A and B are shown apart, each in its own frame.
Chain A
């Protein structure tokens, strides 16, 4: 059974701080890893994808992947109130048609 785990939160950080979101997964065969942001009542929006070990940066967002530890994280620098949302970690298998398994999500609140 493939599993993806996240701390449910809520995680509260002050505006301008770094928010750190963590995710672990159980399937060692997983190849693709995604972070989605979901506002209440809306569909998930892809923020980052990462496929190899190390860091991947895109603007204020940095995804980190460690396949040996089966761990993926998302750092949000200079957090803004508009970053307040639920962040979903998702893991895919070896092919693009494999199922994407979602974690339970972490609720982030950025306090002005």
Chain B
């Protein structure tokens, strides 16, 4: 099945700095990647959809200038949290689209971001 990796698995940074999270598809080519955010004891919320070779699509309420998404190749999508603040501390997870009719909706292992 589809394997997705994320790096780093966790990161601690100071307020005001930027953090880049990488999502790599290891055994398939991903033209699209979903980025989710999960606050403690809450469900996953879709932030944006990255598309290889074009601009990302952001969900309502998500600041596109703060959460920069780049889908540079068919195997790499990145999320950069710019000028991070403590309220950005969360669990960020990438996920490729599933294949309808097959049990193949996978998630990356996630990145735990803590902003001090």
Tier of interface size on chain A:
20 to 34
Q: What 0/1 readout, one digit per residue, does chain B (68-100) give for beta carbons within 8 Å of chain A? A: 000000000000000000000001010101111
Interface of B is mostly: loop
A32 touches B98 (CB 8 A): yes
Contact in complex: A104, B43 (CB < 8 Å): yes
Q: Mask for B95-112, Cβ within 8 A of A = 1, else 0?
A: 101111101011111101
Number of interface residues of B (CB under 8 A): 24
Given contacts A46-B105, A49-B105, contact A97 B44 (CB under 8 A): no
Q: Which residues of B contact A104 (CB under 8 A)?
A: 42-43
A24 CB, nearest partner CB in chain B, Å: 15
A44 to B91, CA, bound (A): 12
Which B residues are closer than 8 A to A by beta carbons?
Answer: 32, 34, 42-46, 49, 91, 93, 95, 97-101, 103, 105-110, 112
Instruction: Using A32-B98, A97-B32 as known contacts, list a sample of 6 further A-B pairs with CB atoms less than 8 Å apart, ordered by residue number in A.
Output: A31-B100, A43-B108, A44-B93, A48-B103, A51-B101, A103-B43
Could you list 11 examples of A-B contacts with CB < 8 Å? Answer: A41-B91, A43-B109, A43-B110, A44-B93, A46-B103, A95-B100, A97-B32, A99-B34, A100-B105, A102-B45, A104-B43
Q: Which 5 A-B pairs have the closest CB atoms?
A: A43-B107, A96-B100, A102-B44, A43-B110, A104-B43
